[in-house]
Structure 1
Amino acid sequence: MAAPPALSRYVARMLSKGYELSAIRNALQQAGYPPALIAEAMRYVPMQAHVRHTIHLSGGAIGALVIIGVLIAGGIFAGFTLLSGNKPAALLDMRVTILTMVPEAGQQLLFSPELFSAGAKQAVDVVVRYELIHIASRKAVAEKTETVAVQTRASPRMQLAIPDDAPAGDYLLRVQATYAGQSALASERFTIAKAASRQQGNPSAREGHASGTEPARAGIRSCDDGNTCTLDSFDGVQCVHESVWPCCGNGQCEAGEQGTCSDCARFQQNTLAPSAPAAVDCNGKEGFALSLCQLEQAKADDDLSLCAQIATESVVMDCYSALALQKRDSEVCERIGREDNRDVCYMNFITAGDYTVCGRLSREYIRNSCEQLRQLDEARR
């Protein structure tokens, strides 16, 4: 069982701050991480991270690590829900990453939905529905539904066939996960290019999915090369390993990962001269397509006033949250009306070590955990 790179980095960071290995292990176990996954994460922690002064954690401090620290490790910054009564004892959250850079009609769209179930004591079956929506016509051109087993985290590699007659243009991959009355929604925008003449040879090998004879029949035990940044398949003759770019978790900050991947420091100043933002043309767009376009325009212009002009409420909140990070100004989060979404915006600053936002958090249990982390940070100095 390979440990997520973010989990190993989290363990190393906590060790470097002086926390005991046993306390970190207990915190992760309380958060629902399997012992084997924790052991694997600790196995790859650099040795120098162990040679630090030691901080003994109280029960309350461990609780703070469970609630906030594990959120840092897993990258769970959205969809907080306060559970009570007979609701399921797990928080369902999700994000999606498209792996095919510029697909064409008739090809397979490769993507990876990352499902999180924080606090689940055993694997649960989550129903996941995928829709491929043509933004201009607002029509779904393809859809698929399947069930995924999730305990704490699952990142399956999926593919969805793009119809041969799908027009070129902007599309939205919409993914909805449902479990025990909870629902999580994620979407990613991308472009389908005009169909080009296909290369001769085996298209399945070029597109990175398996076809033909199974590996075992050719005497190959498995095509898995252990590299999370490749798509592994068998083309009927040999194993094919197609590189995934950008690849979150390879320790490199690549284009398109700013603000979305732990490989990029969330508040790191760019040492290069910033490039001029690309012009955003929203003429002719309407409805949800217009809202998405206005979001991109607000980010490109770094203009908060444009967020207020967006008609779709969820996109308005995304706009303020994105610009708060872009401007490195937590006060922008106050413009978000819904408390849970506002807390999500503040969480991005807490994970960067800015505890001045603790008093602004709406959820008491998150606010208390933020204060405990602040006190631990002050005691360490």
Structure 2
Amino acid sequence: MGTRQLVLWTALAASLAAQEGAPGYKWVGLQAGSLSPDTQTNLKASPFFGLQGGLLFDEKRYGLSFQALVASPKSDLAPGKSLSQSEFSATLLTGLSGDAASRFWPYIGLGLGAVSIPQIDAVTGLQKTLKAGTAHLSLGFHHRPGLGLVWGLEGRYLFTFANADLKEFQGAAVVGYAWGGRAAAPRSEPERAPTKVEPPPVVAPPPPPAPLPVVSTVPAPRPLASPAPPPQAPQPVAKPVPQAPVARPLASPPPPAAPVTAPPPPVTVVVAPPPAPRPAPLPPPAPAKATAPGSEVTRRLDALRLGDMPKALELGKKHIDALSGQRWTLRLEIANLPATLKNAVVAFPGQEPDLFIAPIKLKGGKTAYQLFLGDYASKADAERAAKAVPAFFLEGGQRPRPYQINAIPAQ
């Protein structure tokens, strides 16, 4: 019965933890401590030694550990005789801190196992071994000082399924080697100012030379001279009358000569050349990737570069409120330190990424910062964008996750 429960519990723990992504880090180590058996077993407290190993999953929220130990307790019913006790267990660990960059990781654990407890019959003095399934509750922490070293302390309360009143207390320390996961300390890379890409100047080709005007000299037509008036018939001259002299009528004065019109100057006709073909319009230059100074994106990035978390949170909330709740975004990481967010901005050389942050409340009441990238129309678009993020956000098994705007977690 105990073995079946152990297998089922381990499978359930692995299934829940696998939903959080790839392992954060793994460890193996040596364990030593003291166990205090139940008084009804007539066994005395004794030291124990064993092995422990395990792994933590994405963001260090969940993990698994396995341990095997042996002890040599003594019984009040057999003075001077050392007995042999062994245990094996598997534990599901739940972190009390979800900060993926922390070297100190406290946890609470719940697990199943099996135990072989020596017993001596009080009447016959014969020794027998009780084998039973167990359940336990543990509380402890891990600390990684660096260079692959890990150590920790753990206290455990254990009881058996064969007899719920048969219980045991353990206190242990573990020292071992850890590998994988992100480095706890932020990387100290110098901040590089984003490079603004300027488009190449567009030089228009010179216009073709205008053709010379064609000048044609056409003599103007001369006006025809007025026709001369017809000659008048001579007037009859009256014969003189002897009685009295009669005045002789004078002939009509000759008509004035028609004025001679000078020929007009030649008229110059300017024939305009045909219009030159216009050059095809040049395509507009490609827009520069850099965002114009003073934009909302630049202001958010400046706040992150300067480590001004109140301003960055204010601008991030303003940006989220302006987006439609049905849009999608991409969460790159959860960080505790402003320096981690500075390095995240530097991870996009020559760009001004659409980054913004939102707070999240971790277990234990501690507040951290969620770093988001972009605004996408669908979850599929956000997942495609996740494949193109810088390698900085994929170290140690990290995995960017898409979230709908109206479903951004707050804790």
Shared fold (TM-score, shorter chain, > 0.5): no
From the CA coordinates, give the structure whose radius of gyration is larger. Answer: 2
TM-score, structure 1 as length reference: 0.21
Higher strand share: 2
TM-score, structure 2 as length reference: 0.20
